[in-house]
Amino acid sequence: KNEVEQSPQNLTAQEGEFITINCSYSVGISALHWLQQHPGGGIVSLFMLSSGKKKHGRLIATINIQEKHSSLHITASHPRDSAVYICAVQWHSGGYQKVTFGTGTKLQVIP
Amino acid sequence: EAQVTQNPRYLITVTGKKLTVTCSQNMNHEYMSWYRQDPGLGLRQIYYSMNVEVTDKGDVPEGYKVSRKEKRNFPLILESPSPNQTSLYFCASSLSQGWIVSGANVLTFGAGSRLTVL
């Protein structure tokens, strides 16, 4: 079983601040996903990573395979970034791909 | 528009009354999966399907059934619902199970189905 831990669980930031959300996992993976869950419940895939770094607008995701750790950064945060951010890892078990999700980081950005 | 469609979005039912939550995708995705989301526990995989007629258990399959007779549809069946199945359910699909890691192979989620079992 792959244990996935996210930190912090809750985060409040002022508009414009630089935000970092962390994700650690216990077993080697084939890919890591960052997801965004809006207050209404809908879930959107932000990134899928297997190595290195990806950038999309103000969002940057990095992964360190050796340290089993990924970070999601938000630059110049805005109230519309308020959401729950979920880390999910894909990993092999018994010849199959499994997915394990973190419990999420609830971000609130205050104007 | 490329999407995953779940129905119903909200349902209140009683213990023991069989129900089906439908899931349909229009992206010709091979991989489909069901998850439940509970406070403090995050998303947990119920069942997944790698292709037509190929399904397998996830982490919490007890009390659920699925079928994959067509590529686009992956219904979740609760034969005899119980109150501990009260949850928010999500269906998701992707091009493949993840063996090929590419920018196109991300999970697309449905809008969620909130189920209450009394």
Measured between beta carbons, the chain B residues lying within 8 angstroms of A50 are: 101
Confidence of residue B108 (pLDDT cuts 50, 70, 90): confident
Shortest distance, CA A44 to any CA of chain B (angstroms): 7
Interface contact B101-A103, CB threshold 8 A: no
Give B63-97 pLDDT, tens digit per residue. 999 999 999 999 999 999 999 999 999 999 988 76
Under an 8 A CB cutoff, do A102 and B33 touch?
no
Q: What is the pLDDT of residues A15-34, one digit of tens each?
A: 999 999 999 999 888 889 99
Q: Tell if the CB–CB gap between A41 and B33 is shorter than 8 Å.
A: no
Q: Which of A1, A7, A38, A48 to mutate to test the interface with B (most CBs of B within 10 A)?
A: A48
pLDDT tens track for B13-38: 999 999 999 999 999 999 899 999 99
Average of per-residue pLDDT values in chain A: 92
Confidence of residue B99 (pLDDT cuts 50, 70, 90): very low
Pairing of strands B42-51, B31-38: antiparallel
* pLDDT on residue B98: 54
Query: Nearest by CB to A86, which of B43, B92, B97?
Result: B43
Distance from CA of A90 to the nearest CA of B (A): 8
Distance from CA of A75 to the nearest CA of B (A): 22
Q: Which two tokens stand for residue B93?
A: 């699909």
pLDDT band at B101 (very low <50, low <70, confident <90, very high): very low
Q: How far, in Å, CA of A55 to CA of A78, rounded? A: 17
CA-based nearest residue to B76, from B62, B86, B91: B91
Residues in chain B closer than 8 A to A42 (CB atoms) = 109, 111-112
> What per-residue confidence (pLDDT) applies to A41?
79
pLDDT of residue A11: 97
| Ranges of chain A with pLDDT below 50 | none
- What is the pLDDT at residue B68? 97
pLDDT score for B40: 85
pLDDT of residue A77: 97
Q: Considering chain B, what is the average pLDDT of its residues?
A: 90
Euclidean distance between CA atoms A37 and B38, whole angstroms: 14
Integer-rounded Cα radius of gyration of chain A: 14
A4-7/B65-66 β-pairing: unpaired
Quick: pLDDT tens for B42-54: 899 999 998 899 9
Q: Is B83 helix (H, G, I), strand (E, B) or coil?
A: helix
Q: How far apart are the CA of B30 and the nearest CA of chain A, in angstroms? A: 14
CB atoms within 10 A of CB A55: 12
| B57 backbone dihedrals φ, ψ, rounded to 5° | -75, 145
SS3 A81: helix
Q: Which residues of A touch B4 (CB under 8 A)?
A: none
| Beta carbons of A41 and B45 less than 8 Å apart | no
